[in-house]
Amino acid sequence: MKAPETAINQSRKNILFLLLLLWLVLVIIRLFYWQILKGQQLKEEGESQTLRQLENKGLRGQIFTSDGYLLVGNKRVYDLKLDKKNFQGDANDLAHKLSEIAVVDDWQYQDADSMEKKADLQKSIEQSILQKFDAKGNWPKLLDNLSQESKEKIESLNNNYLFFDETYQRFYPEASMAAHLTGFVGRDENANEVGRYGVEGALEDELKARSEKNLFKMDALGFLLAGQKYESKNLNGRDVTLTIRRDVQNLAEESLAAGIAKYQADRGEIIILESKTGKILALATWPSYQQWQYFKYPSDILKNPSLTRLYEPGSTFKTLTVAAGIDSQVITKDTICTKCNGPRQIAGYSIKTWNDQYNPNISIINGYAKSDNTAMIFVSDLLGSDRLVAYLKKFGIGSGVDIDLQDDARTNFPSKIGPVETATISFGQGISTNSLEFLRAINTIANQGKMLEPLIIEKVFDHQSQTEIISPIKEVEQVISKESAAIVTEMMVEAALHGEAQWIASDKYTVAAKTGTSQVPDPNGGYKTDETIASFVGFAPASNPKFTMLVKLENPKSSPWAAETAAPLWYAVADKLMILLNIAPDK
């Protein structure tokens, strides 16, 4: 009886062993599958549950005036998101309440001139919010760029399914001051922020925020695992300080707006340079725009007219003609014009003076003061076309302005210059420039004949290296001699005291300046008969210039003449500028 029993037990042991062996093989196969075949995938999945990519992004650099006022900064705004997956409640009621709050931040609502328009806009926002309840994804963005006030009102609704993301946008504590200098921040084709026009566009690489991404291991609650540190770096873009002064810029803008209204002009500019450095103390343009609502304006308003809007300067250009004549020694200020007794006949054209009055045997200094076209043609005769062109190019006419502003600063020098063109160029017609290019040329005389590039950037501050980069003064070349510049200055003083604008000349300080009333080219040929550009350009005090200023008014309707529009506006600004810059009277 014992033998069969032993056999049965042995069989059972064998079966159990086989089962254990099979189980062990299955375990080994399973381990091979998970650790070898699926090991990398499991590792990645495990890391994906603990690893988090954190992005640290800085803020766009700020823009300041030279006297420390913030022109362009960054303010905190909020995007509103909905936990759609868990949302419970009345979507229509929530959309209505949100639209009532958010509509106040909308510029169209702020500009609306009727309650009906405001109601329509709110309804439009409400419908937009409702559509997002049906959008794909569990976290649709209901609203963006909400103000702090709107955020707080939404929070007071106590809705547990609404959440905010914090972001930033540009803001302008000085309102639209210096808009054509600052430019604005728009979006590129990928909806990324990018600077447009002005300093924002020219210094995009300097101003733009930096960012960095890092991987960290975190626990289920989102805390860093032991041994890891998250060090936040300063990734802000560089801060830029402009050369403009807030008080001088404000003076220029307010004065220009008053001048536009008083003289009924279509457009206008006032530019003020520091004579010895070329720094732009103010650049005012009209019409201007609000940077935060740039999308409301046509592109021609967004461009800086001091760089992009070409014009024929007229009689102010005579300053460069006499400077070329004096420096090349073909004339002195007392040279007598022997061809000023009537209109000049050149290549079949009769070229007259602006008032059709003539001054036989007039001296060049008096011909310049009286803005006599025939006297300037006489100077160009003595110079010759090639030498006149060479001097004008030395003065930078047609060369563009090397300045940190994102605008087209190129001008075109006339390709054909025959006898007629030489004659008309001598008194500022038939040749185009822009305001900054021309003011640079006049400032060359104020700076004893040495050209300076206009400067708009005072300094740049780098947050990463904690260093300040000061912009150097940009000296170009000695265009005319110091002696020639002194003689031309004397002629400009004479023009200010005894020219068309003598009635407004200051009795407190000496001004070297010249009026210009230029014709406006007609696209169909010739010149318009009902439009002029009135300008007045000069510097003061004449013996030791502290500022050089151009005032330009396009199509002033109260009077076409610069002596009755641009000149009095120039002196009104100069009177206040003498006080702001603490310049002592020299009379």
Tell the burial category of 380 from Cβ atoms under 10 Å away from its Cβ (0-12, 13-18, 19+).
buried
Query: Which pLDDT belongs to residue 1?
Result: 47
pLDDT score of 495 more than 80: yes
Question: Looking up tokens 């990463």, which residue turns up?
Answer: 464
Helix ranges (H only) for 158-298 are 179-182, 198-202, 204-207, 246-263
For residue 278, give the nearest of 476, 38, 125 by alpha carbon: 476
| Mean pLDDT for the stretch of residues 338-357 | 93
Which tens digits make up the pLDDT trace of 225-248? 555 555 567 889 999 999 999 999
Query: Which pLDDT belongs to residue 525?
Result: 86
Q: In sequence order, what are the beta bridge partners of 518? A: 533
Lowest mean pLDDT among 63-77, 204-218, 340-354: 204-218
Query: Per DSSP, which regions of 152-249 are E strands?
Result: 162-171, 184-187, 193-196, 211-217, 239-242
Which tens digits make up the pLDDT trace of 43-82? 655 555 555 555 678 999 999 999 999 999 999 999 999 9
Query: Which pLDDT belongs to residue 39?
Result: 63
Average pLDDT, the chain: 91
Which tens digits make up the pLDDT trace of 383-441? 999 999 999 999 999 998 999 999 866 678 888 899 999 999 999 999 999 999 999 99
Lowest mean pLDDT among 103-112, 296-305, 424-433, 482-491: 103-112
The C-alpha atoms of residue 95 and residue 250 are separated, in whole angstroms, by 43
Taking CA atoms, 556 is separated from 37, 263, 268, 553, 562, in Å, by: 84, 5, 9, 6, 9
Full-model pTM: 0.87
Output the CA angle 238-244-249, nearest 5 degrees. Answer: 130
pLDDT score of 93 more than 50: yes
Instruction: Domains for the chain: give ranges and CATH numbers.
Output: 45-78+170-242 (3.90.1310.10), 92-154 (no CATH), 246-292+309-580 (3.40.710.10)
The amino acid sitting at 567 is A
If one compares 530 and 38, the residue with the highest pLDDT of the two is: 530
Q: Is the separation of the CB atoms in 371 and 496 below 8 Å?
A: no
